[in-house]
Structure 1
Amino acid sequence: MDASPTFQNIPADKQQRVLGEARREFAERGFLGASMNRLSARLGIAKGSLFKYFGSKEGLFSRVFDGAVERFALFLREARDETKGRPLAERLERVLLVGTEFVRTHPDIYAIYLKMLAGGDFPLREQFLGKVRALSARFLTPIIVEAKASGELPETLDATLAVFVLDAVLDRFVQAQAQPWMDIGLGLSLDDPENSRQAAGKLAAMLAGGFHVG
């Protein structure tokens, strides 16, 4: 959802401050717990201005989430483009690490995502999470298709199934670093980039080899 022309016409630094504080509010308290009163107090602006900018709390959250997806898309696009033409295992390693880099850079956005996964107190939850999955598929599919075209993967490989597997592994790899209880003994942590890099390299090699099976 686009913000109103009123919001789009305020200075860019003020726009970023409003959206940044909104991300913080939703990350800390979820959607139902987020307060437009508290947010307006943080920003030092009238609550009425927030409604003029976004129409409702739902409208504000929609703008925050769409902006988060746009930021993640930039990370993914850069990773895809910078590894184009390289071996599949190397590309998959970069895929695994780019998710971690994004979370380290934008912890508030990832906190919102985790809250959405865990509960249903967000408007249009399925629609928003579907956007994340669709973005991942758009990014991952060309990597598989290019590997098939180069002969690195068999022509008979079902690209849709391969992308399904990659998306699931990418999501779990990042979650295991952000939530220790999801780790099964790999010692993954956002605070240990080197261990994450080593694990990503081994996992990428396993995935690239596994796609030849069957």
Structure 2
Amino acid sequence: MESIHQNTDAPASATFLNLPEEKQQRVYQAALDEFSAHGFGSASSNRIARALGIAKGSLFQYFGNKERLFHYVFDRVAGQFAEPLRSVRDATRDEPLGQRIREALLTVSAFLEAHPEVYRLYTRMLFQESFPLRETLLSRVRSLSTKYWRSLVEDAKARGELRPDVDMEAAVFFLDALMDRFFQARTLPYMDTGFGLHDDARLDACIDALVSCIERGLIAPC
């Protein structure tokens, strides 16, 4: 998965990008914590500055406004999320499609457990917030997700794994939708609807059941 940031007008200023990496990371984490806890509309630049022990003016020198700061955070989040998926995609390139999907879901689950604030940010955008960047950034998420799944489906087709009547775009759409619902059920108990994904003890069994359904629908019989 490539970087989500496609705008040549980078949200961070040269002043910020010239800071030591450790300071950039502190700003990113403080802003991520604020946006994931309060959403874009209620996030406070003052609180971020206080958490960092810097003047609010320094924050605006780095980014110009709250929208650009959010854009920067979103770019970093996307890169942070994409890296383990890219790694598992490459590491499983020679595996059957079902196994690649299983490994992708396990990787996503581990990421969500390690970085709960990242998914909180996404759910706020998806369910709660309306702001100028919302449609643009969410459409990029979907574009990058479908690109990821398309690469797996195309690899499977090239190896002759898929049934000949499988609609490629429908398969990609289904896997993209599966990943999104997997996110929701894994992190939000009220979105689980009884399947059990929110229960750590049932995670492997739930993933096996999902992969079995996919294989029955997509994979050609031996």
Normalised to the residue count of structure 2, the TM-score between the two structures is: 0.90
1:168 counterpart = 2:139? no
For 2:68 and 2:93, how far apart are their aligned partners in 1? 37
Which residue is equivalent to 2:163? 154
Which residue is equivalent to 1:206? 213
Decide which of 196, 201, 212 is 2:203's aligned counterpart.
Answer: 196
- After the TM superposition, which residues 1-214 of structure 1 pair with which residues of structure 2 at under 5 Å, given as runs? 1-189=10-198, 192=200, 194-212=201-219
Alpha-carbon distance, 1:129 to partner? 0.7
* Letter of the 2:168 counterpart: A
Aligned length in residues = 211
For 2:94 and 2:164, how far apart are their aligned partners in 1? 18
Alpha-carbon distance, 1:186 to partner? 2.0
Alpha-carbon distance, 1:120 to partner? 3.0
Contact 1:141–1:163 (CA under 8 A) maintained in structure 2: yes
Alpha-carbon distance, 1:154 to partner? 2.6
Alpha-carbon distance, 1:188 to partner? 1.9
Give 5+ residue unaligned stretches, structure 1: none
Normalised to the residue count of structure 1, the TM-score between the two structures is: 0.93
Alpha-carbon distance, 1:187 to partner? 2.0
Alignment deviations for residues 127-180 of structure 1 (CA, whole Å, 9 cap, x no partner) = 111111111111111110111111110344222111100010111012111111
For 2:183 and 2:133, how far apart are their aligned partners in 1? 24
Give 5+ residue unaligned stretches, structure 2: 1-9
- Moved segments of 4+, more than 4 Å: none
Contact 2:39–2:129 (CA under 8 A) maintained in structure 1: no
Contact 2:197–2:203 (CA under 8 A) maintained in structure 1: yes
For 2:86 and 2:186, how far apart are their aligned partners in 1? 22
Alpha-carbon distance, 1:212 to partner? 4.8
Which residue is equivalent to 2:7? none
Identity of aligned residues (%): 45
Alignment deviations for residues 98-128 of structure 1 (CA, whole Å, 9 cap, x no partner) = 2212211211111010001112333310111
When the two chains are superposed, the root-mean-square deviation of aligned CA atoms in Å is 1.5
* Letter of the 2:163 counterpart: P
